Amino acid sequence: MWNWEYAWSILPDLIAALKTTFWATFGGFIFAAIGGLILAMLGRSPIWIVRAVNRLIIEFIRNTPLLVQLFFLYFYILPTMFPTAPTALVSGIIGLGIHYSTYMSEVYRSGIDAVPKGQWEAAKALNFSRTKTWSTIILPQALPPTLPVMGNYLIVIFKETPLLSAITLVEVLTTAKNAISISYRPFEAYTLVGVLFLIISYVFSVLVRMMEIRLNREQSASSGTDSSSKPQSGGKGRLDKEVKQQA
Amino acid sequence: MMDVPWNDFYPLLWEGLKVTVEVAVLSALAALVLSLVIGLCRVSKFKTVRIISQICTEVFRGLPLLVLLFWVYFALPFLGVEFDKVTSAVVAIGLNYGAFGSEIVRSAILAVPNGQSEAARALNFSPLQRMIYIILPQAALRMLPPFGNLMIELIKGTSLIYFITLSDLTYQALILRNNFLSMTPYIFLLLLLIYFVLSSFVSVTVRLLERKLAAGRL
């Protein structure tokens, strides 16, 4: 049933294909991290129409399948937008990035909401400009507590990369499919792909947990001397709840 | 916009919608049952049960849905277990989202204040009665919003059954696209809109249910 010899023979190809998977994962993650921040800041815009459109876009992208969005991007939007159609990898990064930026924006939003209102007021009282308020007051406080949640989304994006095989990206799953089309032995190939994904997402999740523990320790250490960071740790609890719901 | 043959789109998409809804409903049921069973095992007083259920959660959560689906549909027959397409889809989607759901059940049960359990014990409730009459009704209210989100993710996840050539919405839309290549953007927009309506239906239902369950509670 299980043929070790065959399994060993395809393993190097699968591992080599992980490189593409990682590129897509990190590319998509960085895109989503930047896009999510922009969406979250637009959600705080003083103009209500910007907030409403922003909300609508987020809801629409969040509530429709990534697979369909990938097809739409790859077959229509990107080829009509650019003179030369982007490669499958670039399209995949854009697709993952757009889809998960809507999720990330919620993470940022909870981080930004956790910054006490007094901070905004103080910035205004000290005559800080809008850009200055965001870059020097709000974001430095809002971002660190969101890091573990963002780490979880890195894992989620990693687990979504097999979808990119639909737009002809040769990542791990496509490589397995190609091997199967020669050998007609799906058992070993798909089992190996599953084991690879399990191991990598497990390692990632251990790293994220370590980061979370360290962050909590730093926060409790600082709250011992500085009472103003207490509301922030309250916000942290809210974030944790959100992770549990989404993870 | 005038010359979009919308009427040619509807029959195929209607067929696809039926398959999507069928798989979504069946796998949602499977996922709900699994999350309750695994979730209860996660808070069991027996250590072995807790560990085994935790391993189940980690494995089925850690696997990408598409890989799990391929494994169930293409690889399992080599172990002598052969499912038809719909069953494979329901098994894979049910296991994957059931693992996520068990985490919701577990945290909701743990979030019920300890005093409730102690009060039930003081009133001489058996452990089973304690769970059914005291803990679960309170936990259910907490589970509702995250389960609503999970169901929306599940509907989105059903689009993956296109990969095992089940003729769902996505599959039919791609066939339509082959027939009307110049209509690509309209077909995809319509497809996205249908999915959006489906998930909005779930979120509205959950909100109504939440209001109903929360009535008369603190």
- What's the pLDDT score for residue A190? 95
- Using a CB-CB distance cutoff of 8 angstroms, which residues of chain A are in contact with residue B58? 202
- A186, B149: Cβ pair inside 8 Å? no
Does residue B192 form part of some domain? yes
Does residue B5 form part of some domain? no
- Give backbone dihedrals phi and psi of A3, rounded to 5 degrees, phi first: -105, 105
- What's the pLDDT score for residue A229? 40
Does residue B118 form part of some domain? yes
Which domain, by its residues, includes B133?
Answer: 11-214
**Closest-CA residue in chain A for B161?**
A67
Task: Report the amino acid identity of residue B160.
Answer: L
Mean pLDDT (chain B) is: 93
- Per-residue b/e over A90-105, b at no fewer than 16 CB within 10 Å? bbbbbbbbbbbbbbbb
Interface size A-B, in CB pairs within 8 Å, comes to 110
Does residue B199 form part of some domain? yes
Domains of chain A: 4-246 (1.10.3720.10)
Chain-centre distance for alpha carbon B187 = 26
pLDDT over 90 (residue A64): yes
- What's the pLDDT score for residue A10? 93
Total structural domains within chain B: 1
Poorest-confidence range of A56-65, A234-243, B178-187? A234-243
CA angle A13, A19, A24 (to 5 degrees): 130
pLDDT tens digits, A84-131: 889 999 999 999 999 999 999 999 999 999 999 999 999 999 999 999
C-beta separation of B86 from B23 below 8 A: yes
- The secondary structure of residue A47, as a DSSP letter, is S
Residue B207 and residue B203: Cα distance in Å, rounded?
6
CB distance from B117 to chain A under 8 Å? no
Rounded to the nearest 10 degrees, what angle do helices A172-183 and A4-42 cross at? 150
Does residue B4 form part of some domain? no
Residue A18 and residue A169: Cα distance in Å, rounded?
12
Sign of CA dihedral B161, B166, B168, B173: positive
CB distance from B200 to chain A under 8 Å? yes
Residue A92 and residue A26: Cα distance in Å, rounded?
11
**Which CA distances in Å does A27 have to A48, A95, A161, A217, B38?**
32, 10, 11, 30, 35
Does residue B1 form part of some domain? no
Does residue B125 form part of some domain? yes
Give me the residues of B, 15-54, that contact A with CB < 8 A: none
CATH of the domain at B34: 1.10.3720.10
Of all residues in chain A, what percent carry a pLDDT higher than 70?
89
